[in-house]
Structure 1
Amino acid sequence: MKTYRAAVIGCSRMGAFIDNEVPDYEAIKLPYSHAAGFFAEERTDLVACADLRPEVMEHFGNRYNVPKANQYTDYREMLEKEQPDIVSVATQPEHRAEIVVYAAEHGVKAIYAEKAMAASMDEAAAMVAAVEQNNVAFNLGTNRRWHTGFDKMKEIIDSGEIGKLRTLIIYSNGTLFNSASHHFDLILRLNSDAPASWITGYLPQGDSVFDGNALRADPSGGGTIQFENGVTAHALLTPRGSEWEAICDRGTVTCWNNGWQWHLRKQQDVPGWRNCQVPETFPEFERTSSTANLIKDLVHALDTGEPTRGGVRCAYASTELIFGIIESHLHNGARVELPLTDSKVRLQRNPTARQPRVE
């Protein structure tokens, strides 16, 4: 079978070295970084990388067997010379749209973009247009969409055994671009990517993070999302981190501690207590690497022409929820109808490049 040429743009933590930070964290099965995923996948050959820091690329090359001649400080030159089939864009969101659009318009067949999708809704829309016009397979690095535990959670919801899905809860939504990008994609997945019809939101930091239309920091944000199929989601800001719950007519299914524990409860009549939520056994599942699963999904799309599990429209939908929270805050918590129109806010930070843990 064909082996696809892969390249990584942005060689820092998620691009290449975050695996060094989580070797003993059972919530994450390795490989985790983009580069480690391509390096482990037998159907991909990691041939090149691009970053503004030659010293970081030197470590990248040593780890993933990418020669110095295939390390570029200009991603455009890399795309022209190496002609990769699959490109990872593991930069910060402020730079992502420009790179994704250029890659899609210059022959790349599949793109694995790190989250959050983009720094503005206009940039997200430009990414959608470029990807769709050039028939590019696309997945966003919201890894829980490819997590086998959440696959099982979705199977329970879809089976109807605990009734119709009514409510989804994110217990700790966190910062919108870094954390909520994950959470919003997960609730979209659990709700079969039903469109959202409106959203309300708030930013506890208030207006201090704004400079006109520029968002100078990634703010925490919470709110409520109403979906067209009647499901309501609540994005809370509690200390109960990395936990999610689906509430159905006749039971609940919950993930605790970022996938350590899974709980299924079903309604039953209990003598002396009437109608109760009674614990049931959550089905067994094989714990595998979500990054590996995401890359296999891209490879399958290239092999068959079938759509990926994620896709650029799913990425756009979760991005719209991020900016919906922001727009609601700017309008004093008012309900914002979706699809979102005329949002001019842009994430525009000046972060210092973080040095990855290379060993």
Structure 2
Amino acid sequence: MGIKYKVAIIGCGSMSSNHVYGYLTTDKFNIVAISDPHVDAMLEFDSIFGHMENYSPKHFTDSLEMLNYSDYDVISIGTWHKLHSKWTIEAARHHPRIILCEKPMAESLKSAKDMIKSCEENNVSLIIGHQRRFLPSFIEAKDLIFSGEIGKVELIKADSAMGLFNWSTHHFDMFRFLLGDVDCDWVMGAIERNSNRFEREIKIEDKAVGTFGFENGTVATLLSDLTTNFYQGCMLYGS
């Protein structure tokens, strides 16, 4: 059966449940520890996954106690957004092989940079949960682009919703994925906030528009909460 990697989970919410399901269905991981301040959340995980092989976690209501309890190969972070940086930085200090953190990466650019710095200093690979890269439709679209089917990609248009911290983060990642992970050279944007809108305890905009210029010359535009015709994909315009 080979080596199985030990996994610890921080935050037992809906997104972490997707992580756990993914780990267990590969037969390469053991879920050995889970943490959440709400005991009921951990018990719900047990009710969902308790019948599956390789699921036998110790429960912790204190995530730091869990990190100090043992060594782990993989640590998954599925808390709400504002805790992503805190627990990524702390988890990196415990030297797992990999940290898988849910999107959005962080609540600020500084926090994101601090996460990267902590992982680099501790030789930890950091992955952000942009799972749409693995959708067959996304992979096929990228393959068609790189086969030259539409020539050079000159413009990408996307319509998003639910805030920049929610769906739109997937669109940002989609732009880079489809273009081969090229860097973004410049961004122009505007937001509007007239309501008391929040995304998991973080203030967010009511509407947003952004234009992105990539190093290969491609330009992408994103409308967030400006149209009712939003979806996960995009329109690509080639030469």
Q: Secondary structure at the match of 1:87?
A: strand
1:127 equivalent to 2:115? Answer yes
Q: Which amino acid aligns with 2:145?
A: I
Aligned to 1:241: 230
Alpha-carbon offset, residue 168 of structure 1: 0.9
SS in 1 for 2:217: coil
Partner deviation per Cα, 1:58-81 (whole Å, 9 max, x = no partner): 11123223557x110111111222
Asked if 1 retains the 8 angstrom alpha-carbon contact of 2:160 and 2:167, the reply is no
Partner in structure 2 of residue 46 of structure 1: 31
Match of 2:216 in 1: 229
After superposition, the C-alpha distances for 1:225-265 in whole angstroms (9 at most, x for unaligned) are 1112110001023212213111111xxxxxxxxxxxxxxxx
Work out the percentage of aligned pairs sharing the same amino acid: 31
State the partner residue of 2:8.
7
The equivalences for 1:1-359 within 5 A come to 1-16=2-17, 33-65=18-50, 70-205=58-193, 216-219=202-205, 220-236=207-223, 237-242=226-231, 243-249=233-239
Q: TM-score, normalised by structure 2?
A: 0.88
Change in Cα spacing, 1:245 to 1:205, as seen in structure 2 (3 Å) is same
Contact 1:48 1:82 in 2 (8 A): no
How far off is 1:174 after superposition?
4.0
Gaps in structure 1 of 5+ consecutive residues: 17-32, 250-359
In 2, the alpha carbon distance for the partners of 1:160 and 1:58 equals 51
CA distance in 2, matches of 1:38, 1:205: 39
Q: Secondary structure at the match of 1:203?
A: strand
User: Contact 1:46/1:64 (CA < 8 Å) preserved in 2?
Assistant: no
Q: Is the 8 A contact 1:173 1:221 kept in 2?
A: no
Aligned length: 227
* Residue type at the aligned position of 1:247: Y
* Contact 1:173 1:180 survives alignment (8 Å): yes
1:173–1:222 Cα contact (<8 Å) kept: no
Indicate if the aligned counterparts of 1:15 and 1:35 stay in contact, CA closer than 8 A.
yes
Please report how far the alpha carbon of residue 50 of structure 1 lies from its aligned counterpart in structure 2 after TM superposition.
Answer: 0.4
Q: Would you say the 8 A contact 2:82–2:202 is kept in 1? A: no
* Deviations 1:4-46 (CA, angstroms, capped at 9, x unpaired): 0112111011112xxxxxxxxxxxxxxxx11111121211111
TM-score for both structures, normalised by structure 1: 0.60
After TM superposition, the structure 1 stretch with the greater mean CA deviation from structure 2, 92-101 or 139-148, is 139-148
Partner AA of 2:204 in structure 1: D
Paired residue secondary structure (2:154): strand
> Any conservation in 2 of the 1:178–1:218 contact (CA below 8 Å)?
no
Cα pair 1:173 1:183 within 8 Å, conserved: no
Quick one: distance in 2 between partners of 1:5 and 1:197?
39
CA distance in 2, matches of 1:77, 1:61: 20
Q: Any stretches of 5+ residues in structure 2 without a counterpart?
A: none
Q: Secondary structure at the match of 1:156?
A: helix
The one-letter amino acid paired with 2:238 is C
CA deviations over 1:310-333 (Å, ceiling 9, x no partner): xxxxxxxxxxxxxxxxxxxxxxxx
- Over the aligned positions, Cα root-mean-square deviation in angstroms equals 1.9
Which is greater in Rg?
Answer: 1
Instruction: Report 1 or 2 for greater relative contact order, CA contacts < 8 Å, sequence distance ≥ 6.
Output: 1
C-alpha distance 114-216 of structure 1, shift in aligned 2 (>3 A): closer
The residue identity in structure 2 corresponding to 1:62 is: S
Residue 209 of structure 1 and its aligned partner are, at CA, apart by 5.9
